[in-house]
A = this chain, B = another copy of it.
Amino acid sequence: MKVSAGLIAGGGVGFLALLQAIPSPKPQLPEPKKLTYTPENVIWPYIPLDPMVSAERAYRFYPDGSCMYATVLSIVSQLAEQVGDPYTHFPSHLFRYGHGGVGGYGSICGALNGSAAVIGMLITDKNIQDSLIADLFQWYETTPLPHFAPKEGASTDSLPESISQSVLCHASNTKWCEVSGFSVSSKERKERCRRLTADVSYRLTVILNALYAQEYLSGTQHNTEAASCMACHGSEGKLDNTAVKMNCNSCHTESLGHKLFSEAHYQLIKE
């Protein structure tokens, strides 16, 4: 049974009691599935790359063009050396636009935007593209970062890690500031983004290598809470008013109505 918009709008303690008697919209989570690479769903050639080389290059290129540029160039520069055309004339310069969540606007993390651009560059099949992007983005939302330790560069001190719970640049940064105690304008926060870019490039390379080795299993992790929201709000739900895979809670549990709803709701899901 689904919980209707009217019930959600009710709010308050009486609502909470009522909700506890209602079966929750338990999300249907799809099984992990193997993605198969065939010549038909690939546009440009790829050969297996060393993830640590990708990470080190992303870290090295970062000061020249920030997160999105460094991520794209970390992969393209290796393919240009090892494959040649079409990578030798690739317009990597354009990806500087993605810094700070697109021109400093604070939206999508540039390392993720750049990784998705690389996936779009290599693979034509939309389902494979979307699956790889969702897997990478969910990993980013749930993994303590940064993890990469540079051998050289601005700083070799260790840095605190945080779990972003969001693919948005500003939210990811704010979470790290909260956990680390550093300000957003500190050199440590900038170094955090530089290392995180290396981490994302490493992960992207691992994903691409596994796909091209025919060993890639997609959807091994799920955001159960977001799936629960989508049971009502998604195209299969009664509300059918949003299409999204982002972690919902990093913004939307700020709503008191949703907070009451969510707590009772997750309780029921766990039971």
Chain B residues, Cβ within 8 Å of A107: 107-108, 167-168, 246
Q: Is B185 touching A235 in the complex (CB atoms < 8 A)?
A: yes
**Cα of A240 to Cα of B174 in the assembled complex, Å:** 9
CB of A25 within 8 Å of the partner chain: no
**Cα distance, A116 to B246, chains bound together (Å):** 21
CB of A121 within 8 A of CB of B242, answer no
Report whether A104 and B251 are in contact in the complex, using a CB–CB cutoff of 8 Å. Answer: no
Q: Are B116 and A97 in contact (CB under 8 A)?
A: yes
Q: Which residues of B contact A9 (CB under 8 A)?
A: none
A105 within 8 A of B: yes
A105: B residues at CB distance < 8 A: 133-134, 137, 167, 244-246
Task: Collect the chain B residues with CB atoms within 8 Å of residue A235's CB.
Answer: 183-185
Name A241's contact: one of B100, B103, B174 (CB within 8 Å).
B174
A13-21, A88-96, A156-164 - the one binding chain B: A88-96
How far is B129's CA from A96's CA once the two chains are assembled, in angstroms? 9
Q: Residue A254 at the B interface, CB < 8 A?
A: yes
B117 with A240: CB separation less than 8 A: no
Contact of A242 among B93, B108, B173, B243 (CB under 8 A): B173
Residue of A101, A107, A126 contacting most chain B CB atoms (<10 Å): A107
Q: A90-B91, A97-B117, A121-B91 are in contact. Are A104 and B246 (CB under 8 A)?
A: no
Using a CB–CB cutoff of 8 Å, the interface residues on chain A facing chain B are 43, 86, 89-91, 93-108, 112-113, 116-117, 119-121, 124, 126, 129-130, 132-134, 137, 167-170, 173-174, 177-178, 183-185, 234-235, 240-246, 251-252, 254-256, 258
| Cβ-closest 8 pairs across A and B | A97-B120, A106-B244, A103-B133, A170-B244, A185-B235, A254-B255, A183-B240, A94-B121
